[in-house]
Amino acid sequence: MRHSLWTIAAVILLAAGGYLGFLALRPAEMPPGFLYGSGRIEATEIRLATEVSGRVVESSLVEGQPVSAGVELLRLDDRLIRLQQAELEARLSAGEQAVVRLERMLDTARHHLGNAETELERARTLRRTGAIPAQQLEHSEDRRREAAGEVEVLQAQRAEATANLEALRQQRSQLALQLDKTLLRSPIDATVLVKTVEIGEVVAPGQSLGVLVDLDRPRMKIYVTERVLGRVRLGTPARVRVTAFPDRYFEAEVSAIDGQAQFTPRDVHLPDERARTVFGVTLRVTNPDGVLKPGMPADAWLRWQDDAPWPDTLVVPP
């Protein structure tokens, strides 16, 4: 009898231990008011290239180094362009002097034309009274035509010289633009991700010279089913965790929601989930010290119920 009681007690203890073990090892459930999604950290990448060809003479590209917007990253050899600018400045100076000279000649020709017109009017008056012969009137008319023709010629020369001067100024603007294109500046505050060129190399227009990445505004895309899509809205708070920092959560919020459904991308783990249509949800993630990098696997939890408290530990649902 006593032996049977010990046996029953042992069975009960084993059953209780097994149940407690089951409870301890059972995957934690998602707390109410939250949605889970997984994906990878993404960031805006800018591929650097120049619009002109040339030899690289200066470069400050260092992989992993942050750069500020507007800072010079790379410079191509600009000696030929500067020589062209010097030659063009000389032609511009000569062109400006030519226009000034023609203006002065035109002023003189107009003065002569005015005198010739005054003389012609006087000659006509005297001819009507018979004070001068017809030959003298014809001479005054010839002088007036010659003066008017001189004015027309100088006006045409001035117009041509002015047009040539304007064309030279346009060439100066074009050379200034080409010179500016030999300098490659950072378009935004970013970090150098990849450097693909060294000093001394000759590059072609459009050739990749490096890649910048904006680590200040990383993002992450997760996918939710239509059944729970109505719970997600712009600005919904979220928290993100990456494998590299398992004990740290990064604050995030929903910044975009796809308007059309799609099949779940292949990087989602379960094959049956890949067969479903889902909606993409983009999270804007804070990255205060720049530790998040593009490509990092990440888990995200969205709190769609405003009064749901954030748990101390967020778990990946089974």
Between the two ends of the chain, the Cα-to-Cα distance in Å is: 46
pLDDT of the chain along its 318 residues, tens only?
555 655 665 556 565 555 444 334 444 567 788 999 999 999 999 999 999 999 999 999 999 899 999 999 999 999 999 999 999 999 999 999 999 999 999 999 999 989 988 988 888 888 788 888 888 878 888 898 998 999 999 999 999 999 999 999 999 999 999 999 999 999 999 999 999 999 999 999 999 999 999 998 899 999 988 888 889 999 999 999 998 898 899 999 999 999 888 876 655 544 555 547 889 999 999 998 889 999 999 999 999 998 889 988 888 887
Number of C-beta neighbours around residue 146 at 10 A: 13
* 89 phi-psi bin (left φ>0, alpha ψ -120 to 50, beta other): alpha
Pairing of strands 262-263, 277-285: antiparallel
**Which residue in this structure is represented by tokens 């010290």?**
289
Domains, the chain, ordered by start: 47-78+183-203 (2.40.50.100), 79-180 (1.10.287)
Of all helices (H) and strands (E), which one includes residue 149? helix 134-181
Amino acid at 59: S
Q: How far is CA 78 from the centre of its chain?
A: 24
What is the residue-wise DSSP string for 76-111?
E--HHHHHHHHHHHHHHHHHHHHHHHHHHHHHHHHH
267/275 Cα distance (integer angstroms): 12
299/199 Cα distance (integer angstroms): 42
Pairing of strands 190-195, 66-67: antiparallel
Amino acid at 114: G
Kindly report whether the global pTM for this prediction surpasses the value 0.75.
Answer: no
Amino acid at 255: S
